Structure 1
Amino acid sequence: MMILSARELCATLLDTVADRSVLIGYSRLGYRLRHRSWAPGPPPGALAGRTALVTGASSGLGQATAEGLARLGARVILLVRNEERGLRAREEIRRAVPESEVDVELCDIADLSAVDGCAARLTTRHPVLDVMVHNAGVLPAQRSESAQGHELTLATHVLGPLRLTERLRPALAGSRDARVLWMSSGGMYTQPITEDLEFRESRYRGAVAYSRTKRLQVAFAGLLARRYAPDGIGVHSLHPGWADTPGVADSLPGFHRVIGPLLRTPAEGADTAVWLAATSPAPESGRFWHDRRQRPTHYLPGQHDDPARLQRVWARCAHTAGLDDR
């Protein structure tokens, strides 16, 4: 049994209190409190010769994650919806990391047909994929639908990413240590698993839809970890805390105005994703992380997802996303 020193015990206690307080743990205060006690991170070149794909990489957390991976030597693919913004992000990353190799791939992750075409192109160009970061996100004010008629946050956060991961499974399996990361949100603590996935039975609220699908990302990470374990593919979910990104400013202007001084930089929010992608040895698959530490998947002790409901929701999402029943 590992015995903690008094200093380590105090740091652990402060970390837990900060995490449960939310305001401290999710803000830049929590990041600054914790990072002083971290062991050295992955060294320069930790991802040399490896290829990483980041969705929603044209700004904010996605761009910061891509830049962090590039700094560690990875060849980075920015998967974006808008070519102009993607090219701008690529140039900004190249200026920050002059030796970096950065590609741009166009794809609307919410459009399942577009995902198929994107996966086919990526498989041809990159037969081996080492890191996949599902970061693309939306928070619409009104209910809207994807090209296939699915509620947009569900399609963007769950269905499209599931399909893309499955289509790229052979490329991930070709890696010596593939890692799939789901960029969730602390907001997922506010919502349980629900079977009203498309908001057919309840009044639509964008923040609720966002948090529900972020809850699914965390719950599904455990199921996907088991699914992909035979191929040596690790699956991890995490949340970045409160970061100052264009998405937050546009979708939650009131929150951004009030909490602004406490928001993390995009690089601070992306830190755990970069760490999970490159740290050695590989973290345990299927876990939920924040600030380089495993976190509980429910806010209160004793809370849990109903297993039968989770399996029903998983079956529906997996079928809709085109996953087979293996």
Structure 2
Amino acid sequence: MTLRPVARALDTALDRAVVPGFSRIGYAVRRRLPTWPADPAVGSLAGRHVAVTGATSGLGVATARQLSELGAHVHLVVRNADKAVAVAADLPGPSTTWVCDLGDLDSVRDCARRIVADGLELHALVHNAGAMPPERTESPQGHELSMSLHVLGPVLLTDLLLPALTAHEGRVVLVTSGGMYAQKLPVDDPEYVSGEYSGATAYARSKRAQVELLPVLTTRWAADGVAVYAMHPGWASTPGVTESLPTFDKVVGPILRDADAGADTTTWLVATTPRARGGGLWMDRRERPTAYLGRNSPSSDERRRLWEWVASALDVTP
């Protein structure tokens, strides 16, 4: 017990130092500390249904496999059903594929309708789908694609799946990114209309939005017994990183985490008992600050303004 305060201090130091904390080094060290939470029990998700968006690549594949190994029936929510065939074949347990483009709000509504009509009782919904368009791209509804895919689509899908998520103390996990630490909440320009467009900046801005909406979403979904988390996977090696951030991948590649390490905390949040406290940003099975020294931390009014934009874009009651 006397080692636990020292272990927590070391964990925090790794986090603040960024490079060792976000890399495979931090994950390897933390797993050996006495503060590391226990793994979910074998078969802890037996008989449970869990949906994972973007489940055909990188963290999505790793998450689906880890959940399946714990006994879950995994629902692969994907844009391309053909790509899901190989993923499903490699899962040790049952799976179902649902075609849905999270960046297209009409597709989201159609997918949610089909899932609810099927009578599913979802234990958890993992929002892993992501992309980093190199040029400003709009969704079919005219929204900047990063914000539509990472914020609007996940909020709408969760809202519409609440009837299916309330049976087992539902859990919702938003897979975010450490890049959000470098960005302010884009309340004055959520659609990235002004200035020179950068795909990496747009991605990070949308991830900041995910994290800063946690208080609102926690309140919104709590009445239905649903807890929501943001999960930062650290710096993980995925096809998306290699394709979209080639320089970063080349420089930091030797210390990037593998996809299994990046997906670990998502799986833990979905499977751990009792359910972890919702509403926070998590990495390596511990809740983390959403900003350091107040840098880029928004005001409550800025959060409110962003939420009003989201509610207006989705035509839902704020």
Instruction: State whether TM-score is above 0.5.
Output: yes
2:49 to 40, 51, 56: 51
Per-residue Cα deviation, 1:129-164 (whole angstroms, up to 9, x for no partner):
110000100111110111111111011000111111
Aligned residue in 2 for 1:231: 224
Aligned residue in 2 for 1:26: 22
Aligned residue in 2 for 1:177: 169
> Is it true that 1:191 corresponds to 2:183 in the alignment?
yes
Q: Which moved more, 1:83-92 or 1:268-277?
A: 83-92
Please give the secondary structure, in 2, of the residue aligned with 1:267: helix
Matches for 1:106-255 after TM superposition, within 5 Å: 106-173=99-166, 175-195=167-187, 196-255=189-248
Distance 1:158 1:39 in 2: 29
CA contact (8 A) 1:166 1:323 kept: no
CA contact (8 A) 1:182 1:221 kept: no
Aligned residue in 2 for 1:85: 83
Please give the secondary structure, in 2, of the residue aligned with 1:231: coil
Distance 2:37 2:186 in 1: 39
Q: Count matched residues.
A: 315
Per-residue Cα deviation, 1:10-68 (whole angstroms, up to 9, x for no partner):
11111111111111011100000001222321111111111100001001001111111
Distance 1:277 1:126 in 2: 21
> Is it true that 1:286 corresponds to 2:282 in the alignment?
no
Please give the secondary structure, in 2, of the residue aligned with 1:235: strand
CA-CA distance at 1:303 after TM superposition: 6.1
1:268 to 245, 251, 261: 261
Aligned residue in 2 for 1:12: 8
- Letter of the 1:216 partner, please give it: A
Aligned residue in 1 for 2:73: 75
Q: Quote the RMSD (CA, aligned, Å).
A: 1.2
CA contact (8 A) 1:189 1:215 kept: yes
1:40 to 31, 38, 41: 38
Distance 1:71 1:177 in 2: 21
Distance 1:318 1:36 in 2: 43
Per-residue Cα deviation, 1:168-192 (whole angstroms, up to 9, x for no partner):
111112x221000000011110111
- Letter of the 2:23 partner, please give it: S
Q: Which runs of 4+ in 1 moved over 6 A?
A: none
Distance 1:258 1:278 in 2: 34
Please give the secondary structure, in 1, of the residue aligned with 2:223: helix
> Is it true that 1:311 corresponds to 2:304 in the alignment?
yes
> TM-score, normalized by length of structure 1?
0.94
Distance 1:114 1:107 in 2: 6
- Letter of the 1:115 partner, please give it: V
Please give the secondary structure, in 2, of the residue aligned with 1:130: strand
CA contact (8 A) 2:58 2:259 kept: yes
CA-CA distance at 1:323 after TM superposition: 2.2
CA contact (8 A) 1:109 1:156 kept: yes
Uncovered stretches (5+) of structure 1, i.e. residues with no partner: none
CA contact (8 A) 2:184 2:296 kept: no
Per-residue Cα deviation, 1:246-277 (whole angstroms, up to 9, x for no partner):
00011011111111110111010000000000
> Is it true that 1:323 corresponds to 2:316 in the alignment?
yes
CA-CA distance at 1:299 after TM superposition: 2.0
